[in-house]
Structure 1
Amino acid sequence: MKIMGLDYGDRRIGVAVSDVFGWTAQGVEVIERRREGEEFDRIAELANQHEVEEIVVGLPKNMNGTVGPRGEICKAFAEELQDRIKLPVHLWDERLSTVSAQRTLIEADVSRRRRKEVVDKMAAVLILQNYLDSKSKK
């Protein structure tokens, strides 16, 4: 069963997909949010193309575990996504996923310009991989 991971942002949405066994996450693309609602069509296309059965959306929480305004926006996005594409959508704590992705790219000596292009995809990979790892421990 394949699972899709999303790192939802104001301008871009990072997308990752698991392998068929649910062991590893691979980055797929970054969806640029140009027009309102257009991102749902692209996510549905990718879910169909990759035969995805579930979606995980990163939920940014505050360091104390509470959900702030950004988290509420992500929750609303996840609800609308589930209504539109009729797949189970789960929220997953994504604290520091973008920071971790930035750090990894800096350590790999990726240029600032290139980092900007791939950081959202990398964050989606981290969100999905953490989710997959938690499922395999159960």
Structure 2
Amino acid sequence: MALVSALGLDIGRRRIGVAGCDGTGLIATGLTTLQRRSFQDLVADLQHFVTARQAQVLVVGLPLTMDGEEGFQARQVRKVAEGLSQALALPVVYVDERLSSVEAEHLMRAAGHSIVQEKALIDRKAAAIILQRWLDERRSS
């Protein structure tokens, strides 16, 4: 299986967590959290990471409902992700992100971080969890 450089995105209403993977495609790491501003600003911010990391795919967390359905928030995420896919000329793949933010919060609490003050860190960690799920899935298939 060819190595692929990917960016993981946790797209929320206010912030977007961004993660990248190492050259081996084994480990996802949170890179930054972007504040949602204009779409053009978002594209410009992400283009920097796409270029610097030679990203070939966007891995986007899709917030499905607990019964696996796509609700309003999932449709909003798809709309943003498809726009980014076109603007950045990269394919997008979706990963079920149910409970990724909860998992990120648990990891942060275990490390002694304050959840209230660290929303941006949660988004970044959630993006890393989403990307890690995709990397693990690719490796096992």
Number of residue pairs the alignment of both structures matches: 138
- Aligned identity (percent) is 35
In structure 1, the partner of 2:69 is 66
Residue 82 (structure 2) pairs with residue 110 (structure 1) = no
| Residue among 82, 90, 97 paired with 1:87 | 90
Deviations 1:95-121 (A, max 9, x none): 010111011111211123542230000
Residue type of the alignment partner of 2:19: A
Unpaired stretches in structure 1, ≥5 consecutive residues: none
Deviations 1:51-100 (A, max 9, x none): 11111010000011100000000111111011101011111110010111
Counterpart contact for 1:78–1:91, Cα < 8 Å: no
After TM superposition, which residue ranges in structure 1, 4 or more long, deviate above 6 angstroms? Answer: none
Distance in 2 of aligned mates of 1:110 and 1:123: 15
For the aligned residues, what is the CA RMSD?
1.2
Residue 53 (structure 2) pairs with residue 32 (structure 1) = no
Per-residue deviation at 1:29?
0.4
In structure 2, the partner of 1:23 is 26
Counterpart contact for 1:57–1:89, Cα < 8 Å: yes
Unpaired stretches in structure 2, ≥5 consecutive residues: none
TM-score (norm 1): 0.95
